[in-house]
């Protein structure tokens, strides 16, 4: 019961799925990947993405993107690309919606803080945390923990950036002992498309947010490959356009150019590789979904510009510094005093300072929204705040 258009021979088909870790009867009205997508959408972790930031701390402005809006944008791009390539849109959509479930609050600052704190305890990786969310931490169903997603969706969550090398993140290594996701191969074409759709959405929408936040100006972009010419083209075509419409039109065109390039390069690689099945895609020594070399260079230049002019901007550094300190303070306190955890989390704790407690605290913090983390920090560290 997937999308009605014909699929390519190398697309992932629900009727050929390797199934779920826990057997379940099939649905009469929905395909396996549609059910995965629906379970992700209805999960508590997905709802919390509304209050987790991509780059900006949530309370700084409600017109900036959150993890939720970003995931929806990635989903739209991934579905469009997969439709053009005759791949399975439902699987790509499920992966796009799941790819950020493991991110902690406060964007990259929160993840960096958890990585540092978890270093002695096996590390922290947001892809591994996404796997924990969908296989363990969502405790909603009567017969199993997690969402019991299909093998293909779990594979894509873990391997959308390519094969994994040793040493594996602890959460992935532990799960692999009971469910082989073939970590040394590439993921499906749908997972590869979802990953590049994330790249397209992320970079272009950070330009949008950065301009609207005043971190840089349109004129600062003139020498950035792809970006500068696109903005110049819009200005030439619409010389009297106000800046808000100018930004939207330019971002729209950049997304279109990157999608067109992705489709062209991927079709070329598929023609050369001539895969007959989804297994053939996984067996290849290189990804089939990719940008052209010139677009890869444009992408690198754009990332470099954003790093220098946005991610290292003093305004952003001030915000991320606050978020980083909140996460580190919470981790240190709760690791050493797990009795301060809420009752429904305390029962899972080990001894203070132990690996078990560290993983529990990482799960607890990664689960938080920006707003909840700030509130929890106030309750635990501000003597004048009443404890709830």
**Residue in the block written with tokens 């993921």:** 187
Query: What pLDDT score was predicted for residue 240?
Result: 94
pLDDT at 4 over 60: no
- Comparison of pLDDT for 256 and 63, the residue scoring more: 256
- The terminus-to-terminus CA distance of the chain in angstroms comes to 47
CA–CA dist 244, 250 (Å, integer): 10
pLDDT digits (tens, 9 = 90+) for 250-279: 999 999 999 999 999 999 999 999 999 999
**Mean model confidence pLDDT for the chain:** 93
pLDDT at 376 over 80: yes
Strand partners, 150: 20
pLDDT at 54 over 90: no
Percent of residues in the chain assigned helix, strand, coil, to nearest 5: 65, 0, 35
Name 274's Cβ contacts closer than 8 Å, sequence gap at least 6. Answer: none
Query: What pLDDT score was predicted for residue 388?
Result: 64
Query: What pLDDT score was predicted for residue 264?
Result: 99
Q: What pTM value is reported for the model?
A: 0.92
Question: With contact defined as beta carbons under 8 Å apart, do 340 and 333 qualify?
Answer: yes
pLDDT digits (tens, 9 = 90+) for 139-176: 999 999 999 999 999 999 999 889 998 888 888 999 99
**Residue in the block written with tokens 């930031």:** 53
**pLDDT category, 317, cuts 50, 70, 90?**
confident
Mean pLDDT computed over 289-310: 96
**pLDDT category, 383, cuts 50, 70, 90?**
confident
Query: What pLDDT score was predicted for residue 319?
Result: 86
The percentage of residues in the chain with a pLDDT greater than 90, rounded to a whole number, is 83
Q: 373: how many CB neighbours lie within 10 A of its CB?
A: 24
Which tokens belong to 144? 């199993």
DSSP string, 310-350: IIT-HHHHHHHHHHHHHHHHHHHHHHH-GGGS-HHHHTT--
CA angle 38, 267, 265 (to 5 degrees): 100
pLDDT at 327 over 60: yes
Query: What pLDDT score was predicted for residue 2?
Result: 44
pLDDT at 60 over 60: no
Total residues belonging to the chain: 388
Name 362's Cβ contacts closer than 8 Å, sequence gap at least 6. Answer: 114, 117, 118, 121, 124, 129, 331
pLDDT digits (tens, 9 = 90+) for 170-227: 889 999 988 999 999 999 999 999 999 999 999 999 999 899 888 999 999 999 999 9
Query: What pLDDT score was predicted for residue 244?
Result: 93
- Longest CA pairwise span in the chain (Å): 67
Mean pLDDT computed over 49-70: 73
CA–CA dist 190, 11 (Å, integer): 8
């Amino acid at each position: 019961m997937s999308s009605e258009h014909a699929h390519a021979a190398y697309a992932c088909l629900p009727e050929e799925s390797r199934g779920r870790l826990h057997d379940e009867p099939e649905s009469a009205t929905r395909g396996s990947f549609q059910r995965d997508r629906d379970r992700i959408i209805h999960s508590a972790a997905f709802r919390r993405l509304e209050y987790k930031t991509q780059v900006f701390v949530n309370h700084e402005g409600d017109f900036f993107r959150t993890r939720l809006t970003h995931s929806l944008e990635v989903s739209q791009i991934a579905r469009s690309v997969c439709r053009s390539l005759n791949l399975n849109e439902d699987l790509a959509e499920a992966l796009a919606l799941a790819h950020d479930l493991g991110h902690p609050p406060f964007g990259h600052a929160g993840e960096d803080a958890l990585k540092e704190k978890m270093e002695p305890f096996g590390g922290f990786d947001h892809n591994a945390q996404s796997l924990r969310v969908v296989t363990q931490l969502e405790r909603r169903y009567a017969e199993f923990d997690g969402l019991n997603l299909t093998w293909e969706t779990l594979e894509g969550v873990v391997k959308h950036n390519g094969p994994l090398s040793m040493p594996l993140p602890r959460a992935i290594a532990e799960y692999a002992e009971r469910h082989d996701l073939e970590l040394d191969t590439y993921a499906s074409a749908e997972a590869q498309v979802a990953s590049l759709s994330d790249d397209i959405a992320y970079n272009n929408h950070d330009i949008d947010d950065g301009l609207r936040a005043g971190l840089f100006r349109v004129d600062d972009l003139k020498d950035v490959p792809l970006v500068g010419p696109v903005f110049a083209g819009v200005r030439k075509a619409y010389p009297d356009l106000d800046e808000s419409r100018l930004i939207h039109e330019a971002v729209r065109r950049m997304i279109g150019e990157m999608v067109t390039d992705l489709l062209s390069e991927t079709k070329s690689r598929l023609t050369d590789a001539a895969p007959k099945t989804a297994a053939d895609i996984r067996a290849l020594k290189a990804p089939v979904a990719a940008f052209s070399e010139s677009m890869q260079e444009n992408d690198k230049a754009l990332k470099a510009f954003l790093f220098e002019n946005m991610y290292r901007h003093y305004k952003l550094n001030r915000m991320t510094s606050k978020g980083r300190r909140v996460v580190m303070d919470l981790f240190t306190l709760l690791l050493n005093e797990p009795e301060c955890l809420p009752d429904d989390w305390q029962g899972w704790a080990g001894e203070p300072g132990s690996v078990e407690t560290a993983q529990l605290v990482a799960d607890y913090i990664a689960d938080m929204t920006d707003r909840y983390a700030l509130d929890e920090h106030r309750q635990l560290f501000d003597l004048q705040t009443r404890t709830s």
